[in-house]
Homo-oligomer: A and B are copies of this chain.
Amino acid sequence: MGRDYKKSDTELLIKNTARDLFFKEGKFGATTQEIADAAKVNRTLINYYFRSRNNLFSIIFQEAVEQEEIFTQEILYSDLPFKQKIENYIDRSFQRAKEFPYLESYIVSRLNEGHLYAKKEDWERFIERFKTEFEEEVRKGNIKEMEPIQFIVNIASLISFPFAARPLLQTTLRISTEEFDKLISQRKEVIMKVLFK
């Protein structure tokens, strides 16, 4: 309505179906035929709306990364104590990981094929703000001293790895899906305990 935009139902259907296939079911290598079948549409429509398989992939990938950035920024720029923000971020991440269990491992593995994103100024503003808040916390003695970027890597690692490597962890640790879910549910507390003094 707004202008031209209507984005035919089918176009959205295909994109969402593909997204679910990747992120929810972990079928990273899904072919156009499989996507078409899952969406119950003619395979050719994928080419019609997205030109090529690769293009469809790129679009889905791009959108996922953008979502992630929006989440992160929303939280950082919210008006809350630093520790609160971290808690929110963990919650948000877990929530998202619950909806798209394979999102993390998809992003991790697909990124090898080279991609770029995020405007430079946005990032600089972001990291500057983070540094300030982080160093204030260190000064207050709530966090052990370290480079802010190491702290970020810690957060990302502690949150994302269990999801990205869920199959790996489940088999090596020999725990059932139920036990793993329980482990995840206790995870927020553990992460906070580890990140803060």
Residues of A bordering B, CB below 8 Å? 26, 28, 102, 105, 107-109, 111-112, 114-118, 120, 123, 144, 146-147, 149-150, 152-154, 156-158, 160-162, 164-165, 167-169, 171-175, 183, 186-187, 190, 193-195
Kindly report which residue of chain B lies nearest to residue A174, judged by CB atoms.
B123
Chain B nearest Cβ from A142, distance in angstroms? 14
Bound-state CA distance A166–B168 (Å) is 18
Bound-state CA distance A160–B108 (Å) is 12
Chain B nearest Cβ from A23, distance in angstroms? 12
Kindly report which residue of chain B lies nearest to residue A123, judged by CB atoms.
B174
Interface SS of chain A: helix, strand, loop or mixed? Answer: helix
Whether the Cβ atoms of B28 and A171 lie closer than 8 Å is: no
Chain B residues within 8 Å of A123, by CB: 174
